[in-house]
Structure 1
Amino acid sequence: MRVSNPGHDVLNPTPEYLAFWRERHVCTLTTPRPDGSPHVVPVGVTYDPGAGLARVISNKHSKKVRNVLAAMESAPGGSARVAVCQMEGRRWATLEGRAVVRTDEASVAEAVARYAERYGRVPSPNPDRVVVEITLDRAMGRA
C-alpha cells in the first residue's frame, strides 16, 4: 500500500511504514562534514518509534562518527543534523533528526540487539563499537 502523503509521524508511523523499516535493507546515513558538505555511507539502521530514535552501530574511528562528534562540538545543543534512508523499488523511507555518539555499554548493547533482530545476525565483537543515536523529528517516505 502506498501513502498519498510522504510525511509520517515519527512516534506513530503507519503499519506499512513501520513494516518497511523492519524489513532487511541496506540504508544510508548522511552526516555533515566539517565544511558542511554531506557525507553519505551505507549502514544498517534500526528504528524505534516508541523512543523516537534511530540507531546506527559503527566503529569509533569511522568518518561518520568523526563527523557527528565534530558537529556535536560546534553545533548549538551539541548534536549533528543527520538523515537515514532506505529504498526498494518505488518504496522509500527517510528519518531525520539530531545525532549524538553513545559509547556506554548499555547503549551499545541495546543497539547491537536491535541490529541483530532486524538484520538476522549478531555483529562480530568490536571493542571500538559505538552508537550513532538519532533523536528523530521528521519521517518521510512512501511505503
Structure 2
Amino acid sequence: MAFDPRTPSPDFLAFWREPHYATLTTVRPDGTPHVVPVGVTYDPPAGLARVTARDGSLKVRNVLTAGDAGAPVAVCQVDGGRWATLEGRATVSRVPGRIAEAVRRYEERYGREVREDPERVVIEIALTRAKGSPQLLG
C-alpha cells in the first residue's frame, strides 16, 4: 500500500535511519531500467531523498536526460523481510550547499566520513510515493 512520504510511520522512518544501502533505479534513454547500489538519505519534512554521485556517471546522465521536469526514479532498501521504497522525480544539483547537506546527512546515517570530491553532485528526489513491508507501516 502506498502512502505520502512526508508522513511516514515511526517504524518506516526508523528503517530509513538504519545504515542500509539501497538501490537506485533510473531509466536509460532506450527505456530500460538501470539499477545501482547507493547510499541514500530520507528527509520527510522536505519531501526529499538524496543520493550523492559523481558527475558524468550513468545514473546522473539518466536523470539529466529527462530535463527540467526530472526523471522518474525509485530507491529501495531491503533487510531480510523488511523493505521500503521511495519514488519520485529526480533532478541533479551542482549547488555546493545542497551537495554539502547531502554529504552531511550521508555521514550521519552511515557513520563514516566522506572524502572531498570536486566531481560530486547530488541527485535530489522530490518524493511522490512511499511503500514498504507491512511491519514498517505501523
TM-score normalised to the size of structure 2? 0.94
How far the C-alpha of 1:9 sits from its partner, in A, is 2.4
Aligned to 1:3: none
Q: Does 1:133 align with 2:124?
A: yes
Question: Which residue does 1:29 correspond to in 2?
Answer: 24
Contact 1:48–1:54 at 8 Å: present in 2 too? yes
Q: Which residues of structure 1 form unaligned runs of 5+?
A: 1-5
Quote the Cα distance in structure 1 between the aligned partners of 2:130 and 2:25: 15
Query: Once the two structures are superposed, what CA deviation does each residue of 1:31-66 show, in whole Å capped at 9, x if it has no partner?
Result: 010001100000000000000000000000211001
Alignment RMSD (CA, Å): 0.9
Aligned to 2:62: 67
Letter in 1 for 2:73: V
What does the per-residue CA deviation read over 1:75-95, in whole Å, with 9 as the maximum and x for residues that have no partner? xx5210000000011100000
1:119 aligns with 2:114: no
Question: How many residues of Structure 1 are paired with residues of Structure 2 in the alignment?
Answer: 134
Question: For residue 109 of structure 1, what is the aligned residue in structure 2?
Answer: 100
**Matches of 1:40 and 1:82, distance apart in 2:** 10
Q: In structure 1, what is the equivalent of residue 71 of structure 2? A: 80
Secondary structure at the counterpart of residue 113 of structure 1: helix
**% identical aligned pairs:** 61
2 CA distance for matches of 1:21 and 1:64?
21
Which runs of 5 or more residues in structure 2 are unaligned? Answer: none
- List structure 1 runs of 4+ shifted beyond 6 angstroms: none
